[in-house]
Amino acid sequence: MITPVGWVGQKVLLRAVTPADRHILVGFDRNGDASVGGYRHWAAHRATDDFHLVIETLRGRLLVGSLWVQVDPASGRFSYGIGIGAQYRRCGYAGDAVTVLLASMFWQHHYRKCEVSVHGGNFASLSMHGELGFREEGRPRDTELRHGEIRYPVLMGITADRFAARHSALTAVPSWRGRHWRTPRRGRHWRVAQPR
């Protein structure tokens, strides 16, 4: 069992789902679009035994969405589904949450590949995954026709090596000395003793 310890990004924190969170997750489905990323938040959380995470902001500790992660340790692969509440979309929370998830799954738990299926009409998700380094691996002919429009899944994937190459700044060890430790001059308000 994977437990999210220290899964913190620049904007969000990933943690396990608690009973108090379930009410908010159900509220996302009632208030927003019924299909977020091709699945419902709450239905996805009830349908599987794999682990679930809540996406919480660092500023204000607001619950903004959730992640459902399905793992296959034998093959070294995992997949996920992500849902962000309608009022919190386009704020960078999804991209940060996925980056934190990928970093921890690849580097801490040594998985080799992540595969996702994105709804073909979800251009925001396709764009976000492309920016994170995912590559399109196929578009199965498993289409459905609803209200005159064709819907299809887009299969995307990223390997641990590709993620490490694109996000090398995450692997850098932070320096305890600070940003200007080699600067020889002092600040502009430093008083220099004047000769008399």
- The span from the CA of 131 to the CA of 89, in Å, is 16
Q: What is the pLDDT of residue 164?
A: 93
Average pLDDT over residues 157-170: 88
Q: What is the pLDDT of residue 19?
A: 86
pLDDT at residue 108 greater than cutoff 80:
yes
Q: What is the pLDDT of residue 154?
A: 92
Domains of the chain: which residue ranges? 12-170
Whole-model pTM: value is 0.75
Q: Which residue has the tokens 């239905």?
A: 43
Using a 10 angstrom Cβ sphere, with 0-12 exposed, 13-18 middle and 19 or more buried, the burial of residue 51 is middle
Q: What is the pLDDT of residue 157?
A: 97
Q: What is the pLDDT of residue 86?
A: 87
Instruction: Tell me the pLDDT tens digit for each residue of 3-53.
Output: 666 689 999 999 988 888 888 888 776 665 544 443 344 444 444 448 889
- Cβ neighbors of 40 (< 8 A, separation 6 or more) are 29, 34, 83
Identify whether the C-beta of residue 152 lies closer than 8 Å to the C-beta of residue 120.
Answer: yes
Identify whether the C-beta of residue 154 lies closer than 8 Å to the C-beta of residue 118.
Answer: yes
Q: What is the pLDDT of residue 132?
A: 94
pLDDT at residue 183 greater than cutoff 90:
no
In 41-159, the DSSP E strands lie at 51-57, 63-72, 77-84, 113-119, 135-138, 144-146, 149-151, 153-159
Q: What is the pLDDT of residue 171?
A: 52
Indicate the CATH number for domain 12-170. 3.40.630.30
Q: Is 50 helix (H, G, I), strand (E, B) or coil?
A: coil
Q: What is the pLDDT of residue 56?
A: 93
Question: Band of the pLDDT at 181, cuts 50, 70, 90?
Answer: very low
Average pLDDT over residues 126-132: 94
Query: Does residue 30 or residue 153 have the better pLDDT?
Result: 153
Q: What is the mean pLDDT of the chain?
A: 79
Average pLDDT over residues 120-133: 92
Cβ atoms within 10 A of the Cβ of 177, count? 8
pLDDT at residue 180 greater than cutoff 80:
no
